Amino acid sequence: MFKKFLLNLKIFFYIANIILISLYVFPGSILGWFLYNDAGLQPQISPDFIVSSNHVFAFSVLTILGYISYESKKLNLVFIYLFFISIFLELLHLIIPNRGFEYSDLFGNITGVLIIYIYFQFYKFFLRRNDK
């Protein structure tokens, strides 16, 4: 039963990856196109500070899905993948029409991955510490 749940979660993680990549490579904003009938408008979940909050939220959710989808020996590979795809996808905006590379988006992507990574590193540390 639990293995079936993890398999379904992995599939959901893969689907979330496909959706995120699709949103990134579309020339314009798919969400703006659906919500406002204007691909030039980007919906904003919350106000930005130093980094883009939309990007922090998106990559945090994706990282959480990746973490709980894989067993511990593959977690480092998942985090490396998510870290590099967060950079690669934003760099693609340099060549995709109607998209713009922004440092705040790049740092939002990386921040979303790193926040969850650090959280789970502390979590694993305290679990090991309490097992002694």
Quote the pTM value.
Answer: 0.85
pLDDT band at 10; cut points 50, 70, 90: confident
Which of residues 38 and 13 earns the better pLDDT score? 13
Residue 68 tokens, joined: 């709980």
Residues 123, 119: Cα–Cα separation, whole Å: 6
Write down the pLDDT at residue 2: 67
- pLDDT tens digits, 113-122: 999 999 988 9
Residue 59: give the domain boundaries. Answer: 2-131
Tally of domains within the chain: 1
